[in-house]
Structure formats: structure tokens, C-alpha cells
């Protein structure tokens, strides 16, 4: 069920009302051109029967204006898939109500898959660029689809994305050495573009909604550093400055649970002291979420060693390389099944980032360590030791289910861990 309502959000005495759209968990607000004094709106919302002629006329105008705008928006909703409604769509729809496009103003929307992909990125550019890593992924997948199209020698239309397209895309990706996980994830981008095209009345395949790259993913261990591993790492001495710097970042990451894009930005100015305890307030780059991280003694010890400063910031690539060397020094040589990125280009001197693939096999732990291991180690080591709600609030995971999937916990695991808690609850 769609709910449209109006509200007065401004602190000014006279302002424009905002239109609010609600459907399930979706709630979006955009401004309208319905102007009213705040004092009148407060009375209006109470359903007062106005005797004053000016107020009575103003009420009539607002009634007619809100009714017409609601009707227009609801009619537009009927033309599209409601799940595609976002703030940009609602803002454009309200703008079209006030400024109906002239026949010559109608945009020419491409039907070609690559051309529409570019159109899609232009439409959502400002929104996607707020999360630059996400935007770069859209570009990467778009370019991959372009290569696939060039190899096949066919110019794909939106309506051509069907079962045959999916089979060909999967086969080509496998030949290129991409993992099943990567294929599944990247085809989802193709489907999102086509779904968006449908909202623009572009013809899509009747098979679109049922298309999904359902591929088996071989079981791999969720590699993380245990508390014992961390003690071994702390014990490594006489490292050159660049490895000591990386070692300290590695320990910090394992006790704060943040991504490399976040912890490399840590500064002492982010630290807050409250009732004798230290906390770090940071806004995550990828999600935009503001999280507060308790600073444990392991982190404080490093800060004290560095006169209250965090280690020197370095690039993610250098960090990845350095922590592997640190973990080798710590003799983390237990073998696990995992993937290591290797270059598959014949001429490695001309290799690009698209020439690297994750090669699966049995590797010593120090080889499988990467910048992400600190976040996973934190979540895994502290899971079950503190309430999951607290844990996900620190890591920034949106839901408990996302956190459990991230650390590789299943319902069987959680049922076992809940056993003692259930018994204790009866006491």
C-alpha cells in the first residue's frame, strides 16, 4: 500500500510543504510548491473549521493542490515497478507535475544495453559517486559487459538480456577465470540496469525477473587472526620502520573492526574520553554510517608508544604487502583453503588490474592475510563474547544476518551457542 502525506519541516514562519511517500520500509520526502504559514498549517492539521474567509480560502486551495498532486503521483506509480522508486524518481515526478515536459523536451532514452548503462550512470551519477568505491564497481562491470559484447560481435539491446545472454555471460566469465561469486555479483548489476530500463518503459525480456546466476561456490575458510595469532604478531621484534608501522595498523584494525579505508584515516582528534574510557568516533567511507568504537588497551598501548598518535598512513596496496611479511615473521604458517590474486596475462609487464584473478588452493595463513582481515578478525573474535547488537554497531553491519554471514555463522552455529543461554534463562 502506498501512503502519500504532507508535512511542514522548516523552521521558518512561512515555507513549502514536503511530500512524503511511504511503501513498506521505504520512506522518501521531497519539497513541493505548496506554500503556507506554519501557524496556519498547525491549525489545518487539527481539522479546525475555519470561519475566517482568508483561512477558509487558503484551506480550500491547499485541499485542491494536495489532492491533485497526490493523484498525479499515484498515476505515475502505476506506470512503473514500485520497487524502483527512489528519491530521484519522486523529485522528478513532482517537478513534472509543476513543469509538464513539452513534446520537444522528451528525452531520447537508449534501448542498447551499453548505451543505457551510460544513461543510467548519468541519471544516478551524483548519488552513486557519494560512495566512490561503489561507483567504480559500476564502471568496472560496465566495461566488462562491453568486452563480452565485443567478443560476441553482437550489439545487445535491453530486451536481449535473457537466459541465453546469462548462459553466454557465465561461460565467458568462467573462461576469463572469474570466480562463481564474482559472476553472481556482477550479473546482478546487469539485472539492475535492465530493471531500471523497464521503469522508463523500455522493453525487457519476459525472463528478466527470473534471471539469476545461481552458481555453486566452493567452501573456503573465513580467514581471520585469532587472539593467539595477535599475540604472536605483537611479539615480533626488530622490524624495519615500515613493517613496524604496518604491524601496529594490523593490531589496531583487529581491535577496532573497521575497513582499511576507514582506519587509515584515524587521527587522535577523533578520540573522545568519557568517564575515564576512550572512544573513537568515525564516519565510514563505504556506508556513510557514523560508528563509535571503544578503544581497548591493545590500541591504547600503541598510541602511548607513539606519543598519542596513530601510525603513519600508507596505501592499501603497500599495507597488504607489508602485513603478509609481518605475519610471515610471526610464523603464521598453518594452511587454509583460500585464494591468492595472481596475474594471468602472458606479458606481465603490460598487465592491468583486469588481468588478476583469485587462484584457489591451499596456502599458508600469512599468504592469505589482506587488509580486510582486521575487520573479520574483530567480528569473529568478539562474536558470542559481547551482544551481537553491540558488535554490529561497531562494525557498521546493517543487520545481524549480514554480520553472521560475514563471519560465516549458520543457524546451526547460533543454535549451539544459544544452548547455554537458554538453560541459564530458566534459572
Write down the domain spans for the chain.
3-104, 113-210, 227-331+375-423
pLDDT over threshold 80, residue 417: no
Per residue in 196-233, pLDDT (tens digit) is: 999 999 999 999 999 988 887 666 678 999 999 999 99
Of 180, 176, 204, nearest in space to 190 by CA: 204
pLDDT band at residue 416 using 50, 70 and 90 as cut-offs: low
Confidence (pLDDT) at 277: 93
Per residue in 111-127, pLDDT (tens digit) is: 999 999 999 998 887 77
Confidence (pLDDT) at 218: 63
Burial class (CB in 10 A: 0-12, 13-18, 19+), 304: exposed
Per residue in 349-377, pLDDT (tens digit) is: 666 766 676 777 889 999 999 999 999 99
The strand pair at 335-343 and 356-364 is best described as antiparallel
Rg (CA), the chain: 27
Cα–Cα distance list, 117 to 143, 154, 189, 196, 325 (Å): 10, 16, 10, 10, 42
Backbone dihedral region for residue 408 (phi beyond 0: left; psi -120 to 50: alpha; all else: beta): left
Edge-to-edge order in the sheet of strand 14-23: 3-7, 14-23, 26-37
Sign of the CA dihedral running 314, 320, 322, 326: positive
More confident residue, 256 or 1: 256
Per residue in 380-412, pLDDT (tens digit) is: 999 988 888 889 899 988 888 888 888 877 666
Per residue in 140-183, pLDDT (tens digit) is: 999 999 999 999 998 999 999 999 999 999 999 988 888 888 89
Confidence (pLDDT) at 354: 66
Superfamily of domain 227-331+375-423: Intergrase catalytic core (1.10.443.10)
Percent of the chain at pLDDT exceeding 90: 61
Per residue in 61-112, pLDDT (tens digit) is: 999 999 999 999 999 988 888 888 899 999 999 999 998 876 655 568 999 9
Average of per-residue pLDDT across 237-246: 96
| Phi and psi at residue 214, to the nearest 5° | -85, 95
* Residue 122 to residue 106: CA distance in whole angstroms: 16
Amino acid at each position: 500500500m502506498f501512503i502519500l502525506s504532507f508535512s511542514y519541516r522548516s523552521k521558518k514562519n512561512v515555507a513549502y510543504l514536503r511530500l512524503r511517500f511511504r511503501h513498506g520500509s521505504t520512506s522518501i520526502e521531497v519539497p513541493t510548491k505548496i506554500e503556507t504559514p506554519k501557524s496556519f498549517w498547525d491549525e489545518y492539521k487539527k481539522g479546525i473549521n475555519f470561519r475566517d474567509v482568508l483561512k477558509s480560502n487558503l484551506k480550500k486551495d491547499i485541499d485542491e493542490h494536495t489532492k491533485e498532486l497526490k493523484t498525479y503521483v499515484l498515476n505515475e506509480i502505476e506506470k512503473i515497478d514500485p520497487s524502483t522508486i527512489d528519491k530521484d524518481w519522486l523529485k522528478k515526478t513532482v517537478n513534472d507535475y509543476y513543469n509538464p515536459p513539452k513534446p520537444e523536451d522528451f528525452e531520447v532514452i537508449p534501448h542498447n544495453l551499453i548505451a543505457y548503462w551510460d544513461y543510467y550512470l548519468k541519471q544516478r551519477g551524483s548519488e552513486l559517486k557519494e560512495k566512490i568505491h561503489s561507483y567504480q564497481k559500476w564502471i568496472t562491470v560496465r566495461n566488462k559487459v562491453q568486452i563480452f559484447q565485443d567478443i560476441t560481435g553482437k550489439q545487445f539491446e535491453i530486451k536481449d538480456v535473457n537466459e541465453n545472454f546469462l548462459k553466454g555471460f557465465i561461460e565467458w566469465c568462467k573462461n576469463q577465470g572469474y570466480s562463481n561469486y564474482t559472476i553472481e555479483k556482477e550479473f546482478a548489476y546487469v539485472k539492475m540496469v535492465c530493471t531500471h530500463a523497464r521503469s522508463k518503459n523500455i522493453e525487457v525480456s519476459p525472463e528478466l525477473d527470473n534471471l539469476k546466476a545461481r552458481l555453486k561456490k566452493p567452501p573456503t575458510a573465513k580467514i581471520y587472526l585469532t587472539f593467539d595469532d595477535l599475540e604472536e604478531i605483537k611479539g615480533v621484534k626488530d622490524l624495519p620502520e615500515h613493517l613496524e608501522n604496518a604491524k601496529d595498523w594490523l593490531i589496531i584494525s583487529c581491535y577496532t573492526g573497521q575497513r582499511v579505508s576507514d582506519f587509515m584515516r584515524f587521527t587522535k582528534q577523533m578520540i573522545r574520553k568519557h568517564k575515564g574510557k576512550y572512544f573513537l568516533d568515525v564516519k565510514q567511507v563505504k556506508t556513510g554510517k557514523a560508528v563509535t568504537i571503544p578503544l581497548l588497551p591493545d590500541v591504547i598501548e600503541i598510541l602511548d608508544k607513539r606519543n598519542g598518535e596513530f601510525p603513519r598512513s600508507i596505501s592499501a596496496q603497500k599495507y597488504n604487502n607489508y602485513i603478509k611479511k609481518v605475519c610471515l615473521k610471526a610464523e603464521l604458517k598453518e594452511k587454509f583453503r583460500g585464494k591468492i590474486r595472481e596475474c594471468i596475462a602472458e606479458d606481465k609487464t603490460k598487465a592491468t588490474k583486469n588481468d588478476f584473478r583469485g587462484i584457489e588452493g591451499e596456502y599458508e595463513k600469512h599468504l592469505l592475510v589482506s587488509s580486510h582481515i582486521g575487520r573479520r578478525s574483530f567480528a569473529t573474535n568478539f562474536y558470542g563474547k559481547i551482544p551481537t547488537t553491540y558488535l554490529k554497531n561497531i562494525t557498521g553491519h546493517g543487520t545481524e544476518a549480514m554480520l553472521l554471514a560475514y563471519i560465516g555463522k549458520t543457524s546451526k552455529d547460533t543454535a549451539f551457542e544459544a544452548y547455554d543461554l537458554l538453560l541459564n534463562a530458566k534459572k
